[in-house]
Amino acid sequence: MKTDSRPIGVFDSGMGGLTAVKELINILPGEDIIYLGDTARVPYGTRSRETILRYAVQDFEFLKRKGVKFIIAACGTASSVMIGEEMFPKEECTGVILPAVEAACKATKNKKIGVIATGASIRSGSYERCISGIMPEAEVYSKACPMFVPLVENGYCGRDCEPAVAIAKEYLEPLRDEGIDTLILGCTHYPLLSGIIGDILGSGVKLISSGAEAGKFAKKLLAEKGLLNGRQSGGSIRLYCTDSPELFCENAERFIELDGILAEKCSLD
Amino acid sequence: MKTDSRPIGVFDSGMGGLTAVKELINILPGEDIIYLGDTARVPYGTRSRETILRYAVQDFEFLKRKGVKFIIAACGTASSVMIGEEMFPKEECTGVILPAVEAACKATKNKKIGVIATGASIRSGSYERCISGIMPEAEVYSKACPMFVPLVENGYCGRDCEPAVAIAKEYLEPLRDEGIDTLILGCTHYPLLSGIIGDILGSGVKLISSGAEAGKFAKKLLAEKGLLNGRQSGGSIRLYCTDSPELFCENAERFIELDGILAEKCSLD
């Protein structure tokens, strides 16, 4: 069987992409992973398409220089602008959008799918286009949730956290009223709010984590291409960030257990 | 009388510094102003000292290249790391900290001064050091308010906005309970929350806007040095930003009336 011992690269604007890394470690425990969090320029979701694309190219090239075999753009916002851009060849990388959309189309029964993501992701229209490519008859209800990233990053995640619940209701009640049965969490921060989101939407709505789906998608793709390394355990993880490694590790613990893993600082610009 | 026709430069991580520009236009209506908002990398307040310093140097040098006679760092976070760094000569620039602290020391009667700012500003300890330099007997109560910038940027500013009020209470009630009579709004976004802040602290607490004080401070300094242009009206304003000018103007309207003024895009890295 063909194998490939090179690491898998994952990047995100900050820490959120660690939800994809967590899933990768679960399903591919033998693979080496290199993670890049662009913490000096996070968040991407409030920026223009042009700026996000420039940052995504720099993230992508950094990981290529590190010798990775495949790249996961675990940032919903970066993914939304990378689609169809030829500097990101399909054989070399995936974003989170197609994996999340495929999972949502599989999960929905009434074909009413909700999408929540950053302002830039929603503005890009990428989710709608991707869903209508796979399931043209689906009705898509999108909502930008710009306060969710700061809420998560400041620890306002608990199901009894009043400000978070109030803001989440404002965002989600219109989607609930449309009768969606599936919701794509189109930003890798959002799974940390899934308690609150589930309370508002009720148990009848299936939540799709874009980071986790991207991990599963990558596994399938790598297996098909003979690009897995063949090991069943012992994968290593290397973390890079563009701002302080200490700040990174402090905040990263919200997303993943680091067990003493340190981050290294790198420069992209 | 000596005059100097060069423009005044103002920079901020994003839009907040426009509160200082507004004050400058009021008190120096004849001066030309060049404003730089580093919107491709906003916010600074969550980043490390080293990264903020690198960004501040780039902002400063950009304005120098534009031929300004004096620079106001209208960003509380940038100001907090620039103090004492020799690449920012005192004759050429001011931050917001000294102006705000001088105004607070003048305003306080019971010498209990509160300071609210971003995480990075509070961590730097700059406000405490500056206050104790001017009024060693003052008691200073500091509180990082990391949710205030995203709240303002997403329009959660109204006095009846429940999530904003709940979060503000969490931040401010401890300061109120310490009996402060003066509060420095150490981030240029915060004046937009002054309704909510005033409701929580009561009318006995004087609010000091760091951006507005920096404007007044600059006027005094420029007058002393003979650096004003001598005109009483007709000052122009030129806006630069590092992300999309359209996004900039859209959001800038929250801070200042633009009357059709367009922003230009520039690159710092």
Q: How far is B249 from A63, CA to CA, in rounded Å? A: 35
Task: Identify the residue among A41, A152, A161, A251 best suited for mutation to test binding to B, counting B beta carbons within 10 A and taking the highest.
Answer: A41
The residue assigned the tokens 């990981």 is A63
DSSP B96-114: SHHHHHHHHHHH-SSSEEE
Q: B207 with B197: CB under 8 angstroms?
A: yes
B185 has which bridge partners? B116, B209
- Look at A146 and B146 and tell me if their CB atoms are within 8 Å: no
- Look at A48 and B162 and tell me if their CB atoms are within 8 Å: no
A8-95+212-265, CATH topology level: Rossmann fold (3.40.50)
Tens digits of residue pLDDT in B168-201: 999 999 999 999 999 999 999 999 999 999 999 9
Q: B219 with B105: CB under 8 angstroms?
A: no
**Residues counted in chain B:** 269
Backbone angles phi, psi at B28, to 5 degrees: -135, 65
Q: Could you give the angle at the alpha carbon of B265 between the alpha carbons of B59 and A65, nearest 5°?
A: 75
Closest chain A CA to residue B41: A41
Q: Strand A263-265 and strand A70-73: pairing?
A: unpaired
What per-residue confidence (pLDDT) applies to B259?
80
Q: What is the DSSP letter of B7?
A: P
What per-residue confidence (pLDDT) applies to A1?
75
What per-residue confidence (pLDDT) applies to A250?
87
Task: Identify the residue among A124, A165, A167, A268 best suited for mutation to test binding to B, counting B beta carbons within 10 A and taking the highest.
Answer: A167
- Look at A46 and B153 and tell me if their CB atoms are within 8 Å: yes
Of residues A260 and B238, more confidently modeled = B238
Q: A243 with B47: CB under 8 angstroms?
A: yes
| Å between A186 CA and nearest CA of chain B | 19
Active site residue B187: yes
Backbone angles phi, psi at B167, to 5 degrees: -70, -40
From chain A, pick out residues whose CB is under 8 angstroms from the CB of B163: 162-164, 166-167
What per-residue confidence (pLDDT) applies to A254?
82
Q: What CATH number belongs to B97-210?
A: 3.40.50.1860
State whether residue A239 is helix, strand or coil: strand
Prior bond of A43 cis (ω within 30°): yes
Q: B145 with B76: CB under 8 angstroms?
A: no
pLDDT in tens, chain A (269 residues): 789 999 999 999 999 999 899 999 999 999 999 999 999 999 999 999 999 999 999 999 999 999 999 999 999 999 999 999 999 999 999 999 999 999 999 999 999 999 999 999 999 999 999 999 999 999 999 999 999 999 998 999 999 999 999 999 999 999 999 999 999 999 999 999 999 999 999 999 999 999 999 999 999 999 999 999 999 999 999 999 999 999 999 888 888 887 878 899 999 98
What per-residue confidence (pLDDT) applies to B169?
98
Q: B234 with B28: CB under 8 angstroms?
A: no
Side chain identity at residue A34, one-letter code: I
Average pLDDT, chain B: 95
Closest chain B CA to residue A147: B150
Q: Of A4, A233, A224, nearest to A94 (Cα)?
A: A224
The residues near B89 (Cβ < 8 Å, ≥ 6 apart) are none
What per-residue confidence (pLDDT) applies to A176?
98
Q: In the structure encoding, which two tokens stand for residue A145, read together?
A: 């949730």
CA dist list (Å): B107 to A3, A232, B6, B153: 71, 67, 33, 29
| Å between B34 CA and nearest CA of chain A | 22
Is the pLDDT confidence value at B1 over 90? no
Tens digits of residue pLDDT in B246-266: 999 988 888 888 787 889 999
- Look at B50 and A244 and tell me if their CB atoms are within 8 Å: yes
Q: A182 with A107: CB under 8 angstroms?
A: yes
**Average of per-residue pLDDT across B61-65:** 98
Task: Identify the residue among B13, B154, B244 best suited for mutation to test binding to A, counting A beta carbons within 10 A and taking the highest.
Answer: B154
| Å between B136 CA and nearest CA of chain A | 32
Domain ranges of chain A: 8-95+212-265, 97-210
**Average of per-residue pLDDT across B217-231:** 96
Q: Of B52, B189, B16, B74, nearest to A40 (Cα)?
A: B52
Tens digits of residue pLDDT in B4-42: 999 999 999 999 999 899 999 999 999 999 999 999 999
| Å between A163 CA and nearest CA of chain B | 4
Tens digits of residue pLDDT in B120-154: 999 999 999 999 999 999 999 999 999 999 999 89
Side chain identity at residue A159, one-letter code: R
What per-residue confidence (pLDDT) applies to A44?
96
Is the pLDDT confidence value at B223 over 90? yes
Nearest CB partner across the interface for B167, out of A39, A163, A242 = A163
Nearest CB partner across the interface for A147, out of B46, B154, B244 = B154
